[in-house]
Amino acid sequence: MTGARLDGRVALVTGGGQGVGRGIALALAKEGASVLIAGRTLAKCRTVADEITAFGGAAAAIACDVTQRSDIEAAITATVAQFGGLDALINNAQSANQRLLLETTDSDIQLAYRSGPLATFYGMHAAYPHLVARGGGSIVNFGSSTAIEGNATFGSYAMAKEAIRGLSRVAAREWGRDGIRVNVVVPAALSPTAEAFRDARPETYQKQINRIPLRRMGDAEDDIGRAVVALVSDDLHYMTGETMMLTGGA
């Protein structure tokens, strides 16, 4: 991978065992980054790590429940121990239940917050000294178009995702002097959840596709992953505190 855009850089991707996280991990590795793939299901993370090593990339896997601060800190420590440092943190993991507001419970909100903004906050805290030690770096967090639009049944998820965007803007301003850039990606990608929805409700799914000017869902690697590569690389080194909409124009 010598000569690639991210040659010599190290990234940690949470929720990297499937979907958007897998696509990002593959895209980063193909540009030369060493990638630690973290997720609740270690077998899935190992499968992605094996995909990367099969094409000559550097990758490792670790079990990580992002609702547990100790797991996130252990993943950061493992990344530095395995690859000698940390240049990029990709806070992709998120869990949530989908219900109408009048049916949303405290448990729903706690799940969305613990796996979303709190997990993102913990990861950023743990990553900070390692990013500073490398002269700065890039943090990529994740928002959602369902939160920006205010889609029905996404109450707890929308709350969590907009909290992440607020956290990211503050961090961009506080940590910019340290050379750390913090941006948010809002993706529309064909994740396992989207595929399940497509298979269960094909007519409704097609109506949603028809609302997208580009008339398709994004590809987890080619559309979302490659955009994250640009954020992590020097290509967008003057961008921080921003939200990158990757929704095909929707």
> Which stretch of DSSP H or E encloses residue 186?
strand 180-187
Q: Which residues does 113 contact at the CB level (< 8 Å), separation at least 6?
A: 156, 159, 160, 163
Beta bridge partners of residue 182, listed in sequence order: 139
3-state helix, strand, coil split of the chain in percent (to 5) is 50, 15, 30
Q: 88: alpha, beta or left, given left = phi > 0 and alpha = psi -120 to 50?
A: beta
3 phi/psi in degrees, rounded to 5: 90, -5
Q: For residue 173, which of 79, 240, 87 has the smallest C-alpha distance?
A: 240
Residues 122, 157, 205, 238: which is the catalytic one? 157
With tokens 């301003």, the residue in question is: 173
Tokens found for residue 190: 């064909």
Q: Is 157 a catalytic residue?
A: yes
CA dihedral 165→171→173→175, nearest 10 degrees, is -150
Catalytic residues: 157
